[in-house]
Amino acid sequence: MDGILIQGGHVVDPQNGIDAEADVLLLGDKVAAVARMTEADVRANHRGLERLQIVNARGLVVTPGLIDLRVHVGEPGRDAEETIAAAAQTALHGGFTTIAVMPDTDPPLDNVAGALFVQRQGERAGFAQVVPVCALTRGRAGEELCEIGQLVEAGAVAFSDEQRPTDTPGAILRGMSYASMFDRPVIEVSQDLSIAGGAMNAGYEASLAGVPGIPAVAEELAVARACMFARETGCHYHAALLSTRNAVRAVKRARRLGVRVTGEVCAHHLALTDAEVRKAYDTNLKVFPPLRTREDVAWLRRGLAEGVIDCISSGHRGVAPQDKELEFGTAPFGALGLETALAVTLTHLVQAGVLGLSQAIAKLTCNPARVLRLQARKGSLTAGADADVALIDPKHEWTVSAGSLFSLRKNSPLLGLKLQGRVRSVIARGRLHELGG
């Protein structure tokens, strides 16, 4: 058996309450121990060890490999945008060793073959582990239910239709009721398109830009309704893509009433507002839900600090340049995020004093692991967990640019912005990946 000893780092493992200098020993593809230990200790205690790699982590923060709950890949169907293998490799550059891919592929992930295909593509690539979020209804159409029981057996970690073409509350209520049998969360993000049919946040900036708006109330409506359905069914509702003040408040109210609801925010919603959108009609800033106001951002931060928002995701979606070099209204929604989510968290939350380092890391590790029911293997450095580790230089300052991103696609909404914190290397299921930059 091979081992890796990570020495002298500042270990932050929120699940186990560790926030101190320590050494981490990985044996094979599992975590063996977090303690103070020397190479000699390890060799003495593990005589069967064939090879022991020593990683010097002095000055670095050592965390469980990060988990991203929201990655949109182009495979199957739109491979030219970004393949599963490419996304899984890009993920490592952002410290993510597990990514949940969303079912809005073509065809959608609404069947066992699709769920298995995604995982197999991930295994073949051998970078971050890829787990599928499957559709709640066939074709994401909001009518017939998917075979949720069999999809769970095939590895589905959650269920979501993403944005549906039409709004069908009855089907969603039935779906949540049915899914509750299998202890998997339902991620409900669909907004009524008769309200939310615009291209940027409705309000002052959209009014001046002359761009049709997406009103905040459309999101509040979707979130509040899903909270009611969770209350009625007992289903775990995971409120992803929270971007507005009143949606955060709706989650907070439901939690206070004991409804099983968890919250998630995409990192770019913490760093940017709709004022940036109007400046240049930059289609890299066209995301769904749209970038909102400063006040909304303040509420998202508050939601994170109060624990109403449990998780931070990247919302990553690679878009080919010819599709972003279009009129603002025509260009598709979507932004990169895998390589910047951690740095945005460190810069805009930890540096800004909103969250402590351990609190922030929890929102990228053990909290998403619990949402996706992966906590036995992922999201912590508990002995026996998968040997997934991120080594982060928390002081490294960098400017996001096309050249600084590993990703094939460059549609980052943060281009030109300064961030602090960069991943130096990751270990994904026992395999060390040294990263440049």
Partner 1 sequence: MNQDDTEQAPARWTRKDLLGLEELTREELLHLLDTARGFSEISTRSIKKAPALRGKVVLNLFFEPSTRTKSSFSLAAQRLSADLVDVVKEASSAAKGESLVDTGRNLEAMGVDIVIVRHQQAGAPHLLARSLKASVINAGDGTHEHPTQGLLDIFTMREKLGELAGKKVALVGDITHSRVARSNIWGLRKLGVEVGVIGPRTLIPGAFRELGVNVHYHMDEVLGHYDVFNILRIQMERQRRGMFPSVREYHHLYGIDQTRLAKMKPGVLIMHPGPINRGVEISHEVADGPNSVILQQVSNGLAVRMAALVLTQSAREAANP
**Closer by beta carbon to partner 1, 350 or else 415:** 415
**3-class DSSP assignment, residue 423:** strand
Q: Does the protein bind partner 1 through residue 281 (CB under 8 A)?
A: yes
Going by C-alpha positions, the residue among 132, 82, 89 that lies closest to residue 108 is 132
**CB closer to partner 1 out of 159 and 288:** 288
Q: Quick one: which of 45, 53, 150, 330 contacts partner 1 (CB under 8 A)? A: 330
Measure the CA–CA gap between 396 and 391, rounded to whole angstroms.
Answer: 12
Looking at residue 100, its amino acid is: A
Q: Does residue 402 touch partner 1 according to CB under 8 A?
A: no
Distance CA 282, CA 331 (A): 10
Stretch that binds partner 1, among 124-132, 209-217, 363-371, 380-388 (CB under 8 A): 209-217
Toward partner 1, which CB reaches closer, 214 or 341? 214
Q: How far is the CB of 94 from partner 1 (least distance, A)?
A: 29
Q: Which stretch binds partner 1 (CB under 8 A): 7-15, 97-105, 203-211, 360-368?
A: 203-211
φ/ψ (deg, to 5) at 287? -130, 160
Residue 155 has which token pair?
């590895």
Binder among 84, 134, 176, 211 for partner 1 (CB under 8 A): 211
CA-nearest of 289, 175, 142, 178 to 223 is 289
Q: Does 210 bind partner 1 (CB under 8 A)?
A: yes
Q: CB atoms < 10 A from the CB of 416, how many?
A: 8
Q: Between residues 281 and 398, which has the closer beta carbon with respect to partner 1?
A: 281
With respect to partner 1, which residue has the nearer C-beta, 112 or 320? 320
Question: What is the DSSP secondary structure assignment for residue 180, as one 8-state letter?
Answer: G
CB atoms within 10 A of CB 394: 18
CA distance linking residue 62 with residue 81, whole number of Å: 32
* Phi/psi-derived region of residue 360, left when phi > 0, alpha when psi is between -120 and 50, beta in every other case: alpha
Cβ-based nearer residue to partner 1, 80 or 209: 209
Residue 193 Cα distances to 175, 217, 226, 258, 261, angstroms: 20, 12, 16, 30, 24
Q: Please report whether residue 327 would count as binding partner 1 according to CB under 8 A.
A: yes
208 touches partner 1 (CB under 8 A): yes
**Considering the complex, what minimum distance in angstroms separates the CB of residue 434 from partner 1?**
38
For residue 44 the two structure tokens come to: 């003495």
Closer residue to partner 1 in complex, CB, 53/207: 207
139 binds partner 1 (CB under 8 A): no
Q: Which of 54, 204, 306, 395 binds partner 1 (CB under 8 A)?
A: 204
Binding status of residue 198 toward partner 1 by CB under 8 A: no
45, 53, 150, 207: which one binds partner 1 (CB under 8 A): 207
Bridge partners of residue 426, in order along the sequence? 390, 433
- Interface with partner 1, residue 333, by CB under 8 A: no
Least Å from the CB of residue 72 to partner 1: 23
State the minimum distance, in angstroms, from the CB of residue 301 to partner 1. Answer: 23
**Of these, 326, 352, 376, 402, which contacts partner 1 (CB under 8 A)?**
326
Residue 3, H or E segment? strand 2-13
Residue 328 binds partner 1 (CB under 8 A) = yes
- Residue closer to partner 1 by CB (options 42, 216) is 216
Least distance from C-beta 203 to partner 1, angstroms? Answer: 6
With b meaning 16 or more CB within 10 Å and e meaning fewer, what string describes 256-291?
eeebbbbbbbbbbbbbbbbeebbeebbbbbbbbbbb
Nearer to partner 1, 45 or 330 (CB): 330
Binding site for partner 1 (CB under 8 A): 203-204, 207-211, 280-281, 322, 325-330
